[in-house]
Amino acid sequence: MVRVITQETYDDVVKENIDEFDMTPEEAVKEAVAQFEAQGVDLSNIIKDLALSSSDNHLVSIAVGKLKELCSETENDTQIIQELEVLMTECNKDIAHRVRAGKEGAYNTLIDVLDVKLKGYTQEQNKGNQTLIVKTLNCLTALMEMQPDLLDEKGINIIKSILDSVENESILLSTLQWISVCCIKHEMNRQMIFNKNITGNLKNLLKRKGNKRLLIESLQVIRRFTLDDDIRMEFGKAHEHARDLGVNLLETLTKLLKENMQAPIVSELMLTMSTLLVRHELCAQAYEDILYTILADNYDNVSVILQASKLITALAGNDDVKRQLVKSGIVPIIVSLLKRHCSNAAAASLILKCISALCLREAEHGRMFLENGVAEVIVECLTVHADNPSVQKNGCWAIRNMVARHKDHNPKFHELGIEAVLNKSYCQFAKDFGFDIKSALRDLDCDVKFDEQWTGKGVQIDE
């Protein structure tokens, strides 16, 4: 279990090292860090520089103080922008500077500046405020990276107000970047922002034409709502968010996919779609023949192939869609892609997972893959990436799903030396996924012994 301490505890230890042991400040900091790390203490949110922690003359404190003074004035945009630049530069240095800025009240100050300038912008459409608003949003993003707890109800209302009423793409882009930072590792932020009916705003942003950066940031925000990365929350709403976003946005995303079949946008679209396919009916809604054109046009582009593999795997969650994919001729394309990208561990792993999904409970699909020469490529992938657990595990699943209902092809795998390859994999990964490897060996009719998971005690039961 990770241990944590307060900033005051850390500061006291450093000061004690200086006062009691006559250490220089640098030695005191080094000794304190080593001491706490040896005890298993997480220092990621601790300001390690004592001068930064306690000095009122640090640039962070000075910049925040000046912003507080300038916030009440009206004709001070140039000065405010200068202080925002200083604060953002400091916040971008490391988490310690951001924590210090947060303790100085930087968040509330920036929210106040943003609130005042946005009211003037929306009421008078004063374009002169645009630069200041963007700078403030960017400063908030820098401040809140890795400390999203700062977000409050006022900040969420400002986000919603911008998405509802502002058309300027620079402001919208900076707002989306701010939302992304707020949603990382913070379940409550995700839920509170999502509950503001942000889905409609995202749909409108997806329909905008011409700005690729705005589209990519919108897609990233959509994916942020499907995260489940906050260890403080026992239960999140990632599935519910993905379902609602899928119901409302998949049609729009599918149209965009037809219009954007080149990297990087096609990768972002496919990745976003695959994260939303959490329901049977959504898979059916998202299926499009355009996938084959995308694969053909981006045959050598690894990043596109990675996301296409994820999308096909997600679509295969619907048995009807899975059969349609195979009927449409995707099998030889998948085998060809595996041959082409066999040397790339990430691509090989995801394509093997894709094969596994397409062959699950479908004997005919397994036969088609084997007749298209996939056995040789799978064995090659497992041999080349013998130390990669993801490739080994997905390869075992693919083999199992292909031969479990089609034993006629077992001799082919044996000719290629699959038993030795899998036994070698078992020696290395037995503790991680040994059961999967043994299951593949079993379905290949190899000699394998399974451990009995539970045995009785031999107690006589009285009748």
Q: Residue 291: pLDDT band by 50, 70, 90 thresholds?
A: confident
Whole-angstrom distance, CA of residue 393 vs CA of residue 432: 9
The three-state (H, E, C) secondary structure of 70-127, written as one string: HHCCCCCHHHHHHHHHHHHHHHCCCHHHHHHHHHCCHHHHHHHHHHHHHHHHHHHCCH
Give CATH superfamily name and number for 329-447.
Answer: Leucine-rich Repeat Variant (1.25.10.10)
Range from 22-36, 191-205, 272-286 carrying the lowest mean pLDDT? 22-36
Q: Residue 287: pLDDT band by 50, 70, 90 thresholds?
A: confident
Percent of the chain with pLDDT over 70: 92
| Per-residue pLDDT at 160 exceeds 90 | yes
pLDDT at 99: 86
448 neighbors 441 (Cβ within 8 angstroms): yes
Domain ranges of the chain: 1-54, 58-236, 329-447
| Per-residue pLDDT at 123 exceeds 60 | no
Pull the structure tokens for residue 215: 């589209």
Cβ neighbours of residue 236 under 8 Å, at least 6 residues apart? 187, 190, 228, 230
pLDDT at 18: 87
| Per-residue pLDDT at 227 exceeds 80 | yes
pLDDT at 462: 67
- Could you tell me the fold of the domain covering 58-236? Leucine-rich Repeat Variant (1.25.10)
53 neighbors 47 (Cβ within 8 angstroms): yes
Whole-angstrom distance, CA of residue 25 vs CA of residue 31: 10
pTM: 0.87
Q: Which residue has the higher pLDDT, 37 or 72?
A: 37
- Which letter, b or e, does each residue of 60-72 get, where b requires 16 or more Cβ atoms within 10 Å of its Cβ? bbbbbebbbebbe
Percent of the chain with pLDDT over 90: 63
Q: Residue 28: pLDDT band by 50, 70, 90 thresholds?
A: confident
| Per-residue pLDDT at 1 exceeds 60 | no
pLDDT, tens digit (0-9, with 9 covering 90-100), for 57-114: 678 888 898 988 887 665 678 899 999 999 999 999 888 889 889 989 999 999 999 9
pLDDT at 219: 97
| Per-residue pLDDT at 53 exceeds 60 | no
pLDDT at 25: 84
Q: Do domains 58-236 and 329-447 have the same CATH topology?
A: yes
